[in-house]
Structure 1
Amino acid sequence: MVFGSKGAEAKKEPFKAFLPIKSLQFFSDKTLYELKQNLATVGQQLKKVEDDLSQKAIDPNASMDDIKALQQSKSDLKMRFDVIKEQHDSLEAEQKAKFEQNQGITAIEDPKQQKVQAKAEMIRATMQGRSMTEDARAALSDRKGNGGEKLLPKTVSDELLHEPFVKNPLRDISTFTNETNLEVPKISFQLSDDDFIADEETAKEMQATGDTVVFGRNKFKVFVPISETILKGSDVNLVQTVDQALESGLAAKEKKVALAKTPKVGEESMSFYGVGITEVTGETKYKAIKAAIASLHEDYRDNAKILMSFGDYSDIIETLANGNTTYYDAPPERVLGKPVVFVDAAVDPIVGDFRYSHFNYDIEMLKDRDKDVKTGIELFVLTAWFDHKIKLKSAFRIAKVAAAPTV
């Protein structure tokens, strides 16, 4: 269609090529692609009319009727353009929402963001008493489980958005696994002569207790208070709150059972102090630690570390220094001869190869909700099963100060 300079033609048929506005209902049945085409077509025609109107406005020979006809055409086209654009934008948004819904969490390219959104979905589903979405369950599960495996310490510790409130230093030196009904050999290799073990103490231990370790299932719960504000807030804030609390709860439980001086009944096998590890004494803790290191078989001594409280180490430094500041600046490994890991719960220093300290979490985990009746705060509850085994007692020593002789 051409809008010429003849005012009569323009006035007679200002925009006959277009249907009345009410006839635009047919656009609702069109595809997004067709709407895009229509939008482009009407847009081009609108621009042409606007350009013609601009030319007419400055043409002294153009009549007012010509200008009014073009203004009317522009108004009609603008109205039609807006109607089509509204339908186009609405359909595009609808299709985008459907696409995102169909794609779900798996459509997120950033693995970290995908994990955050999946965890947030799991937490909200638990607190709302509904099922998780399949893609959220898949994103949190290495196996065909219930979507809880990725909450375990082996994986959580590398994914935390912020540091936990409580840490377990044994995480860095002990073995951690997530298996159901786990059984492992006490020694990870065999020789052609099965009767040959260099360390006689180890040989006697294996003869007495067998050559495999069977892990049990010890149940415990971690309660995480979640306010309504946190639950309805951002995914990142919700996941950060729950992750920190879960990681702290797991770490606290691990330390408690592994370093219990007087273990609870049934938990003796999980404590370094409850399984009968050989005690080595000395006049001071420094001498006791040195003697404990020396008493280990070389197979364990080469990879040995010292688990002790910072208070004990400070006392040793103060005694050794005797006014010499050199000891205060020296790294603990140089002072004691082996790497040192500090944890206040180690009331008596433990020396040994911590590869033989093994924590195993059952992959089954239950997630539930509860309520603190005193505060009214909703609780996210994680029920887990784990065990800690000292695979070889002969790989460790406990350093103790010798009792003073009685007079």
Structure 2
Amino acid sequence: MPKTLFDLKNDLVTLGKALAAAKEQKIAEASKPDADIETIKALETKEVNLKARFDILQREHDEMEAEQLKNLQRNPIKGAADPKAKITAAKAELYRATVRGRNISSDVKAALGDNNTTGGEKILPTTMTNELLHEPFVKNPLRDHSTFTSVTNLEIPKIDFTLDDDDFIADTETAKEIKAEGDVVTFGRHKFKVFVPISETILTATDTNLVQTVDQALQSGLAAKEKKVAFATTPKAGEEHMSFYSVQNGIKEVTGADLYKAIKAALADLHEDYRENAKITMRYADYLDIIETLANGSTALYSAQPEQVLGKPVVFCDAAVNPVVGDLRYSHFNYDPQALYDRDKDVKTGIELFALTAWVDHKIKLKSAFRIAKKAPTV
């Protein structure tokens, strides 16, 4: 098989090490008082031969690298040897072509895992969909705790197992909930759009800069939507079921004289099956208020881990106006895998927009797995 540029780079490293070792061996031998001149000459010959081989490989490497650079400039998709670079170049071309109203080449679609060869539908390619929907997004704290899937028309059971005994569910609230609402959760499709403004400066920037800018904006848009629907105090029509705080979900509220006691009471009110894996989702400002109250002038408590203070791991989220206490595995986000992309324009600024259309649903699979902690109103 013909050697690739990667192979030549590895060979150069190996040969370079051998050349350096031969040179050291020659110097070490020549430094000996009783050194044999024939041995030194043999080492010199070995060094000369290695140097000649190294120079030949170096020339071949430089020529191949220059040729690939020309190919990359002519066709950034075909010319990219590194798979990651190939995908980056393809994504950059998709963004530029979409915003500028050009057709997307088949090479770009193939590089991004798009099997749609008709070109009639603007479905986001598989590679990009997977990255957007499955990569953890730092800006949404629930990403590391809630369940996330990407399945069309998803239906799942509310509980993971059953027994032949009808009374196996020890938590009466869970039993009543399943009896009233059924034991299957069906996810719907709720459309939303993310618009990414792209200036001419960004469009003409390097592939890496363009892709990082657009990807980060798209990911932030998805994360913002997830947080918005999950903690909406006044949900949009049709999205009521997505919020922990909605009347429709009716998650039990537990009150206390202050927020600290309310959280403790909420944890105690959970059934032990949910309490075992419970987490507390709350605002950082509320946590600092609790620390200030408990510390009573001492600074020692400020260095303690939140779990040591409240008894369970804490997930900080500024959208959680009232702490949500419970097993976040029963908070489930599902995306339709076929997201769409298109272009739009901000008529106020004249800046072109890359538009992403996605469908998401958030289901609280078991309401009995959660409690809302609230400070009791003062009388």
Q: TM-score range by the shorter chain?
A: 0.7 to 0.9
**How far apart are 1:310 and its partner, in Å?**
0.8
Secondary structure of the 1:264 match is coil
2:321 matched to which residue of 1?
347
Q: 2:101 aligns with which of 111, 129, 137?
A: 129
**How far apart are 1:143 and its partner, in Å?**
7.7
Q: 1:175 aligns with which of 142, 147, 159?
A: 147
Secondary structure of the 2:374 match is strand
- CA contact under 8 A between 2:132 and 2:218: conserved in structure 1? no
Q: How many residues align?
A: 307
1:228/1:261 CA distance change after superposition, 3 Å: same
1:288 matched to which residue of 2?
262
Residues 1:220 and 2:192 are matched in the alignment: yes
TM-score by length of 2: 0.74
**How far apart are 1:121 and its partner, in Å?**
2.2
Residues 1:112 and 2:88 are matched in the alignment: no
1:52 matched to which residue of 2?
none
Residues 1:383 and 2:357 are matched in the alignment: yes
1:265 matched to which residue of 2?
237
1:287/1:142 CA distance change after superposition, 3 Å: farther
1:147/1:312 CA distance change after superposition, 3 Å: same
What is the aligned-residue identity percentage? 66
2:26 matched to which residue of 1?
none
Give RMSD over aligned pairs. Answer: 2.8
User: CA separation in 2, counterparts of 1:322 and 1:248?
Assistant: 39
- Write the deviation string for residues 39-89 of structure 1: whole angstroms up to 9, x where unpaired: xxxxxxxxxxxxxxxxxxxxxxxxxxxxxxxxxxxxxxxxxxxxxxxxxx9
- Write the deviation string for residues 316-369 of structure 1: whole angstroms up to 9, x where unpaired: 001100012111111100000001011111110000110111111111211111
1:365 maps to amino acid: A
- Aligned pairs for 1:120-269 (under 5 A) are 120-141=92-113, 146-152=123-129, 155-156=131-132, 167-193=139-165, 195-269=167-241
Secondary structure of the 1:384 match is strand
Residues 1:316 and 2:293 are matched in the alignment: no
Secondary structure of the 1:348 match is coil
User: CA separation in 1, counterparts of 2:167 and 2:93?
Assistant: 54
**How far apart are 1:105 and its partner, in Å?**
4.0
1:402 matched to which residue of 2?
376
User: CA separation in 2, counterparts of 1:157 and 1:314?
Assistant: 33
User: CA separation in 1, counterparts of 2:173 and 2:93?
Assistant: 52
- CA contact under 8 A between 1:348 and 1:399: conserved in structure 2? yes
**How far apart are 1:306 and its partner, in Å?**
0.4
- CA contact under 8 A between 1:174 and 1:356: conserved in structure 2? yes
Secondary structure of the 2:227 match is helix
2:303 matched to which residue of 1?
329
Secondary structure of the 2:148 match is strand
1:290/1:150 CA distance change after superposition, 3 Å: farther
- CA contact under 8 A between 1:149 and 1:365: conserved in structure 2? no
User: CA separation in 2, counterparts of 1:176 and 1:143?
Assistant: 25
2:94 maps to amino acid: M
1:75 matched to which residue of 2?
none
1:329/1:192 CA distance change after superposition, 3 Å: same
User: CA separation in 1, counterparts of 2:106 and 2:270?
Assistant: 51
Residues 1:358 and 2:332 are matched in the alignment: yes
1:146 maps to amino acid: I
1:302/1:256 CA distance change after superposition, 3 Å: same
Gaps of 5+ in 2: 1-62, 117-121
- Write the deviation string for residues 154-176 of structure 1: whole angstroms up to 9, x where unpaired: 6338879xxx8x81111111111
1:155 maps to amino acid: E
